[in-house]
Amino acid sequence: MNAVLLSGLLGVVMMFASFLFRTKAPVRILAILGMAVLLVANVLDTKGIHFFHVNTTGFLSFTGYALFFNTIVIACTLIFFLISSKDMQKVGNHYAEYFALIFFILTGIFLVTAFTNLLILFIGIEIISIPLYILTGSAKKDLKSNEAALKYFLMGAFSTGVMLMGIALIYGATGTFDITKMNIAGLLKSNLLTAGMLMLLFSMCFKVSIAPFHFWTPDVYDGAPNVFTSFMATIVKVGIFVGFLHLFYTAFDAIALQWKIWMAVLAALTLLVGNITAVFQQSVKRMLAYSSISQAGFMLFALVAMNETAHEGLLLYAIAYCLATIGVFGIISKMTDYSFDGFNGLAGHQPLVALCVAIFMLSLAGIPLSAGFLAKFYMLKAVIQAGGYMWLVIFGVLMAAVSAYYYFRVIQAMYFKEGPNHFSGISAFEKCVLVGICVLIVFTGLFPNIIFGWMYF
């Protein structure tokens, strides 16, 4: 509970920070400090020290898994602030408000990871979505940003409508919103329940951009300001994914036969569409948008498997995917040309930055010794353990091989081609952060047991 209330309060504080400070530097420092406080508060919560005593029975339950995941989310957001907060100044004049909105989004993510009531799921998803619409359109004069915001808003509101219809039908069938008390095993033949469950499934797929509900993703990720694309493609996506897993694991496990095959087909379709389209992109930003779709396909493996390994794998995937993508976007927002050609010869101009990009790309592609490899390995292992979906595993490996093509294209452009410098410069501190992210990625890849040790201490 610490993190939920504190992040809400910090959001309000950041809102008023825009009046308190005339310059931007104190706002940024306040936001980073606030995020650090949030991290400490959440770790203390994990250790059993609660700042606030609120009775949340029947609405929220902060399990160790949820709290550990929240720690990951906060840590990733802290890293995101450290590397990208300076670039947020370029977006518009409302610097403090952007931080406030990000704090509010975190509140939503904490609710979505810990809900036990569909009401909280709905509110959490909306608290995530509504600030994101604003962040997407925050570059007010940029037509692409406007368009992305309108598109995202219309699609998001539509999928919210579908989700609510699903919740209403489930309520009609079970008589409760509490996912632990639904007693679904007694309602195997209920049409209302099946229809509601499918609608929930579709709308959640919408929110995490699973094919065929992914069509908004490339446009929105492409049009939004770089820094916010980074945030919503990583932290928000994995946050909603944990809620998705929690929902189906807790509520609908009893009717798994009805939806598991759908889930497997969706995962395969997402991998196919995401990877094949990413191959043909000319802009690295748009390529990363499609790569985020294909990574979502891998994360969906957790919902096909539905076992302990899947839970651990999703955590690892969250770490690996968030770190690498935040790093790449941190660099992209400092480039003047996002196309593959813009990366030509980067190794000559900025050897350290190029090395970091190479490590991020290798991790995203899932090359051994990186966190990305381990994450993919855990996902495949989880599906093998669950049994029955061997074709999906083989298909996943095949698609991972395809994905290597477009990730390596960036590395090839940096190291084996010549071109003018499109990099606008980076401070020594941000370089340190980049190196830190690389170290974290390799460290997670080498010693995953330490991470799980923290989880189960």
Residues interacting with another protein, by CB under 8 A? 8, 12, 15-16, 19, 119, 122-123, 126, 130, 133-134, 137, 140-141, 143-144, 146-151, 153-154, 157-158, 160-162, 164-165, 167-169, 171-172, 175-177, 218-219, 222-223, 282-283, 286
Contact status, residue 414 vs residue 347, Cβ threshold 8 Å: yes
SS3 of residue 14 by DSSP:
helix
Give min distance, CB of 195 to another protein, in A: 9
Quick one: 89 or 176, whose CB is closer to another protein? 176
Of 24, 81, 74, the closest CA to residue 330 belongs to 81
Give min distance, CB of 141 to another protein, in A: 7
Give min distance, CB of 146 to another protein, in A: 5
Q: Running DSSP on this structure, what letter comes out for residue 177?
A: S
Quick one: 158 or 405, whose CB is closer to another protein? 158
Contact status, residue 258 vs residue 195, Cβ threshold 8 Å: no
Give min distance, CB of 160 to another protein, in A: 8
Quick one: 186 or 351, whose CB is closer to another protein? 186
Contacts of 51 (CB under 8 A, 6+ apart): 1, 2, 5, 6, 41, 44, 45
Quick one: 151 or 431, whose CB is closer to another protein? 151
Lookup: tokens for 221: 């990720």
Quick one: 112 or 238, whose CB is closer to another protein? 112
Give min distance, CB of 119 to another protein, in A: 6
Give min distance, CB of 283 to another protein, in A: 8
Of 428, 156, 452, 404, the closest CA to residue 275 belongs to 404
160 sits in which H/E element: helix 143-174
Positive or negative torsion for Cα 9, 95, 242, 219:
positive
Give min distance, CB of 412 to another protein, in A: 22
Quick one: 107 or 309, whose CB is closer to another protein? 107
Quick one: 166 or 445, whose CB is closer to another protein? 166
Contacts of 240 (CB under 8 A, 6+ apart): 109, 112, 125, 128, 204, 207, 208
Contacts of 363 (CB under 8 A, 6+ apart): 320, 323, 324, 370, 371, 372, 373, 441, 445
Quick one: 4 or 167, whose CB is closer to another protein? 167
**What is d(CA 99, CA 93) in angstroms, rounded to the nearest whole number?**
12
Positive or negative torsion for Cα 218, 297, 125, 328:
negative
